[in-house]
Amino acid sequence: MKHFNFSVGLVIGAATGTILSLIRFKNGQRLGQPLQDQSQATQNDINNLKKALNNFQEAKQKLNDALPAGKKTSVELENDFKYYQMKVDRILKNLATSQQKLSRNFSNNKE
């Protein structure tokens, strides 16, 4: 009995689907065409989302691969900055000392 009910339901569903697919509106579109268009648009959106996720994963991996090199570069730049800062401080100190000596010599020569 279960197989008979299933078979009858299958036949009735197939017949109904066939009949509905033959019905057309005045503009020539079939009954299920808007649903089919929406289904296709949804599939396209899903495919675009999958592509975007794949691109995101690739970009994330590239960023993770580049982070150690970027961190190393950042540390090198920081060390260079500290070195040049010490060098500039030493030059400024020498200039201040020279300026004081010149001021004293100028004052001594004036007297």
Per-domain residue ranges of the chain: 1-31, 32-110
Q: Is 23 helix (H, G, I), strand (E, B) or coil?
A: coil
- Residue 24 bridge partners (DSSP): 30
Angle at the Cα of 34 (from 32 to 35), degrees rounded to 5? Answer: 65
Report d(CA 111, CA 18) in Å as an integer.
119
Q: Tell me the pTM.
A: 0.41
Q: What is the pLDDT along the chain (111 residues), one digit of tens a residue?
A: 666 777 888 888 888 877 776 666 666 666 666 667 788 888 999 999 999 999 999 999 998 888 887 788 888 888 888 999 999 999 999 999 988 888 887 777 766
Q: Tokens standing for 70?
A: 């970027």
Angle at the Cα of 54 (from 49 to 55), degrees rounded to 5? Answer: 95
Report d(CA 88, CA 96) in Å as an integer.
12
